[in-house]
Structure 1
Amino acid sequence: MQTEQGSVDLVEGDVVRVFARAALLAALMGATAFVAIPVAGVPGTLQMLVVFLAGLYLGPVWGPFAIVLYLLAGTLGAPIFSGGNSGLGVVLGPYGGFLLTFPIGAVLIGAIVHRGRDLRDPASVSLPVVVFALVVATTAVYLVGFLWYAWVSEMAVLEAFTVVALPLIPGDLLKMAAAVAIVRSGLIEAT
């Protein structure tokens, strides 16, 4: 029996590095789901902070990839959604709008901060641009999140906003400040 030997093209180091970062952020996304503080019936988690970091550090392509990886694992049964839940029922449930919009938030942050697919050091981006990106992403996640909640729960839109989105604003402002502090600290290497 004869064996054929040939060379294999290696994956570039940059791709491996960014994939590893995406996997790490997906795991962090799952871990932060367990840090839940019930705020007026809404599970307030640290997950928006991970969405912020994914967009800031991984950009508009790999940032959402990390979040989708998390969503896929949770949908397929890994107990990594808030409260240790999993499955398609969670994704299609009352808080599914938030979950499904997390990747869009990462895309928006990445697109605004990096201005394309090439990654830039987020610490080199002006503070107003970074804050603007975080506010745009949060607004998108909230808008879809509370509208989805209203639809699934058959609740009035204003009531859904008051019950679901409004209580989360103070915590997410703190998460924005934390994301900015992390970026400005230089503790995480950008590329």
Structure 2
Amino acid sequence: MTTRDLALSALFAAIIIVLGLVPPVPLGFIPVPITLQSMGVMLAGCIIGAKRGALAYAIFVLLAAAGLPVLSGGRGGLAILMGPTGGYILGWIVAAFVTGLIAERLVRQDQSEWRQLGGFFAASVIGGIVVLYAIGMPWVTAVAGTPFYAVASGSVVFVPGDLLKAAITALAARAVLAGYPLLHRA
């Protein structure tokens, strides 16, 4: 890792913290709120790639574990990481890596704008939604004691918003790629 890679990862950790300034929207029937920090997974993976995106989230999670109020709603600490939302928070690291890995494989400079948008959208959906849910939902089941079926059916309400986040991410990543490409091919 170069100094530039570390600086980009730290910058994205700061962006993720800023996304947390938007208050979380609690749903009541599931202990996981709607936040914009999950969109950071998609943005980090698609814009700075797998390794740097995962590092950005690792930095972020370490800050949260240390008790700094970096999570949405000004929360932080080990209790949050060990609670029902902890699987999603820890899963952000893996999801950012997978999102970036897919984006690095699917998106190239010489492609049409539509293919780039499609690649970024696919990377965001697979890494930022499918992988994240695959890590977060079993965690909620284990920690909260809620049956997996109830967690899965309760999570369906998040899908439209997450698809909107994926579309916004695809547009943002495409704009960054056109103006200042940061995504490396692995």
TM over 0.5: yes
> Which bin holds the TM-score, normalised by the shorter protein?
0.7 to 0.9
Count of aligned residue pairs for this structure pair: 175
- The one-letter amino acid paired with 1:88 is L
Written as runs of structure 1 = structure 2, the 5 A alignment for 1:82-161 is: 82-115=72-105, 126-137=116-127, 138-161=129-152
- The one-letter amino acid paired with 1:130 is F
**In 2: Cα distance, 1:68 partner to 1:23 partner:** 10
Please, which runs of 5 or more residues in structure 2 have no aligned partner? none
Against the structure 1 CA distance between its residues 100 and 73, is the aligned structure 2 distance closer, same or farther, given a 3 Å change threshold? same
TM-score of the aligned structures, taking structure 2 as reference length: 0.83
1:28 counterpart = 2:15: yes
Shift of 1:80: 0.7
TM-score of the aligned structures, taking structure 1 as reference length: 0.81
How large is the RMSD of aligned CA atoms in angstroms?
A: 2.4
Shift of 1:122: 10
- The one-letter amino acid paired with 2:181 is A
- The one-letter amino acid paired with 1:158 is Y
Shift of 1:109: 1.4
Shift of 1:166: 1.8
Question: Retained in 1: the 8 A contact 2:124–2:170?
Answer: no
Shift of 1:91: 0.8
**In 2: Cα distance, 1:185 partner to 1:127 partner:** 10
Shift of 1:34: 2.6
Aligned to 1:58: 48
Please, which runs of 5 or more residues in structure 1 have no aligned partner? 1-13
Shift of 1:121: 5.3
Larger radius of gyration: 1
Question: Retained in 1: the 8 A contact 2:66–2:76?
Answer: yes
1:169 counterpart = 2:156: no
Q: Give the counterpart of 1:71 among 43, 61, 65.
A: 61
